[in-house]
Amino acid sequence: MNAPADFPRLLAMFFSSRLMQQRQASPHTIASYRDTFRLLVHYAQRELKKPPSELALEDLDSALIGDFLSHLENERGNSARSRNARLAAIRSFFRHVALHEPQHAALAQRVLAMPSKRHRRSPVAWLDRDEVEALLRAPDPQTRFGRRDRTLLAVAVQTGLRASELIGLRCRDVHLGAGAHLRCHGKGRKERHTPLRSDAAAMLKAWLKERGGAPDDPVFPNQRGRALSHDSLSYLLAKHLTTARGDCPSLGKKRVTPHCLRHTAAMDLLANGVDRAVIALWLGHESVETTFVYLHADLELKERAMAKTSPSDIRPARYRPDDDLLAFLNGL
């Protein structure tokens, strides 16, 4: 009979050895996994009446994890997408367990076999040209932070950088002049160069001259001179959206997030005939298939494609009632 596995030891090994040393996971990934296991440990403590330091691996079986996932949805109000992200972190831990504690492989396999939950994909949200212009007019150009915000929003809409890439930009990452571009560090520690249009490059040049930072300083600093946080970025976007909605009422019908600005850049590239493989490279997507979401979202693109097709000469057939068995099957 196997001795109970020391869950705290295995979890510490998973974070220090697997995530930090072997995978060199990003701080964002580590924080996400940490939050998952913090929630799981608190739930196990409540249900099993055990201190976290005394939990054994056998306590975290597929039944308890299934109940934990239900708890996330029903009690904490998490979406199916968030629930699946938590399950992905737990699976990663149990793959580590199966590799280093083979005597507990059966337990690990039962957890690894737990399915993700299917969920409804929300349509991609993006801004049209009038909405973009209203948003860029919203910051006050007479103030320093108004000029910072206008430059930030213009760069976000033109380059499609992720929020983390945008707030992580350093002065050394901006290359102006011929072949102007930004060097950014994306998911998976991949580096890419994103071209700058002349108008965005001009705004960045003026802002950096005013900003006067050292090479390692953030391009878009907060009031203390440090990099903006995700919350600060969301706040400044929401503030300028309030102003822009007075000028462009259609913005009031849209939920605009920093990621929506990324979608806006992608849809602009698509509308201008840029190949989706180039769009994938531009945005730093792992796979070209990721850009299919923009093809599905663009109704005008679909309508232009339909306009190139020819209507058929087939006339509608006369309705005939189905056989009783077929009617039953069709009604299922």
Residues with catalytic annotation? Answer: 162, 187, 259, 262, 285, 294
- What kind and span of H or E run contains 294? helix 292-297
Amino acid identity, position 86: R
- In this structure, what token pair is assigned to residue 54? 């005394």
Amino acid identity, position 37: F
Question: Residue 122: which residues within 8 A CB-CB, separation 6 or more?
Answer: none
| CB half-sphere exposure, 21, CA atoms < 13 A | 7
By C-alpha distance, which of 209, 210, 208 is closest to 218?
208
DSSP 165-213: HHHT-BGGGEE-STT-EEEEE-GGG-EEEEE--HHHHHHHHHHHHHH--
The pairs formed by 286-292 with CB atoms below 8 angstroms and a separation of 24 or more are 286/187, 286/188, 291/266
